[in-house]
Homo-oligomer: A and B are copies of this chain.
Amino acid sequence: MGELPTFADVEQSFERIKSYINHTPVMTSRTLNSLIEANIFLKCENFQRIGAFKPRGALNKILQLTEEEKKRGIITHSSGNHAQAVALAGKLLGIKTVVVMPENAPEVKVNATKCYGAEVIRCDNNTESRVQTVQELSKKYGYTLVHAYDDYKIITGAGTAAYEFLKEVGELDFIFFPIGGGGLASGTIIASKGMIPNIEIIGVEPEEANDAFRSIRDDKIYPSPYPNTIADGLRTQLSEKTFRVIKKYNTKIITVSEKEIIDAMKFLWERMKIVVEPSGAVSLAGIFKHKKFLKGKNVGAILSGGNVDLNDFFKSYYDRVSKN
């Protein structure tokens, strides 16, 4: 698998992608600071293009393809934010893009992916079908796979969120981030430890999908076969590459309950007026849970995305109007 990526790789990734991405804001809240009795800084990747951090990795990967690879095109499989990120990157760089999505992927995500000009190919609702479809098409057409996280270029691209964050807010004592497949986690770890060697790095995972917690504890990658968490971006398992990074840096992993995730999400919407998806609120849930260790500290958290289906919520508004 080669050398682990370094902080210099994150810096180079940032220079490579910075003109394509949003410099997302850091938000603070007096209420939050007073609840935690600490200085809390939230890196709002829900304001990133496509509504999540994912374009950082996709762009970093695709910008490093050879001209020949770019000509042949790219492919990925995803039912979530990665699909739109790859589609956006393909569009921005003028590269043919194919996204394999399961039959049960929400229409709203399929349409968003198509809107960026990607070709969407449906497959059966299981990982094997997704992987097999991608392999067949790659073989037939020579597409390059843009994996959602098992790729050091995706990892260092994802790490640019923490890089931007720490450059802006300076010395933090802690940084909290969600762990799903481990791409954002690995990138955040490399960037944060590169900039602040003493920073405590805390990955937060839903109890309902605690495969990373168990994988690090037992030193072997566990699958995440039937995760039931509402944090749909965190249902995936670690890969060889993300496992290596997370293990090397002695990352602390804590878990949060479904209720704790919703409480954090509700706080962000109600009190801070920002739309954050369950996976994105997991890091703040970790801060609430870990509160007693944070008193008086400077604490960062990455809010990874904000894509939530709001159709039902707004239907109640539209219904009310049509009744009048």
Contacts and interface: CB of A to CB of B under 8 A. Distances in A.
Interface of A: 25, 30, 44, 46-47, 49, 51, 208, 228, 230, 258-259, 262, 265-266, 269-276, 278, 306, 310, 312-314, 316-318, 320-321, 324
Given A312-B316, A321-B230, A324-B228, A51 B262 contact: no
9 contacts: A44-B273, A46-B273, A47-B272, A47-B273, A258-B324, A259-B318, A262-B317, A266-B310, A273-B306
A295 B275 CA distance: 29
Given A25-B25, A274-B274, A310 B269 contact: yes
A30 to B, nearest CB: 8
Contact of A230 (B44, B47, B265, B317): B317
Stoichiometry (number of copies) = 2
B270 A273 contact: no
A10 B238 CA distance: 56
Nearest 6 A/B pairs, CB to CB: A273-B306, A258-B321, A273-B275, A46-B273, A262-B317, A266-B314
A252 to B, nearest CB: 25
Nearest to A268: B275
A272 B310 CA distance: 13
A46 B313 CA distance: 19
Contacts of A30: 49
Contacts of A272: 47
A6 to B, nearest CB: 32
Contacts of A320: 230
A306 B270 CA distance: 8
Given A312-B316, A316-B312, A321 B270 contact: no
A259 B321 CA distance: 7
Contact of A310 (B46, B51, B270): B270
Contacts of A262: 314, 317-318, 321
Nearest to A208: B324
Given A262-B321, A273-B276, 4 more contacts: A51-B271, A230-B320, A259-B321, A278-B317
